[in-house]
Structures are given as structure tokens and as C-alpha cells.
Amino acid sequence: MKTRHLIMSSALLLSLQWAAPVLADDFPEKPINIVVPWPAGGAYDLAARLMAEHASQTFSVPLVVQNVTGAAGSTGVRHVADATADGYTIGVMGTMLSPRAL
């Protein structure tokens, strides 16, 4: 199950790199924050850090991974929702499956 989540997270973050050619010339002007709503060391954190390292080369600015934990991921999600809608804060989200769905 963690492998599936890692693949989904990686695909989401890779979309940042593919979007680079269509972005405005002045974006990005400052570091981009990637919010992971789970503790460091997990599958989502690892995927975010690997993709941030690769995407940093494409964008020529650092992509900073922030682990905002608490309330089963709600704190990190709220952090992204409350951020200014300027493209400099990105959230890593995943799907939640019940045991019956597996």
C-alpha cells in the first residue's frame, strides 16, 4: 500500500516539472513550499523530498519540504488551504482507503 501512495505522490509532484514550460516567465521568484501533512521519514515525505530535489533543478529555485503534522493530516491540509493562492505553497495529499476497499 505504501508503494501505491509513493507512486501517486511522485506523479503529482512530477506534474510540477511538466508544467514548467507553460508558466509565466517571472515564476517562480522565490522558494516553493511543499507541505507534507505527515511526519518526516514516511513514504509521502520521501517522495516529496525526491521530487523537490529534481524539480529544484527545473525551476532554478529551491523547493522546501515542510512536514506540518497533527490531527491525522488536517493541520497540514489547513496550512495549504490558508496559504496565499500564488502557487508557492503546494500540498502533498493522498487517498484514504478503508480496510474493506483493500
Contact 37, 7 (CB under 8 A): no
23 within a domain of the structure (yes/no) = no
* pLDDT over 80 at 28, yes or no: yes
86 within a domain of the structure (yes/no) = yes
Structure-block grid coordinates of residue 65: 519540504
* pLDDT over 80 at 5, yes or no: no
Q: What is the CATH number of the domain that holds 55?
A: 3.40.190.150
User: Domains in the chain: how many in total?
Assistant: 1
The torsion defined by the Cα of 64, 89, 38 and 55, in degrees rounded to 10, comes to -50
89 within a domain of the structure (yes/no) = yes
Mean pLDDT value across residues 6-30: 66
Give the residue numbers spanning the domain of 89. 2-17+31-96
pTM for the model stands at 0.69
Q: Please report, rounded to a whole number, the percentage of residues in the chain having pLDDT higher than 70.
A: 68
Non-local (6+) Cβ contacts of 37 within 8 A are 67, 68, 69, 73, 74, 75, 76, 77, 79, 91, 92, 93
* pLDDT over 90 at 79, yes or no: yes
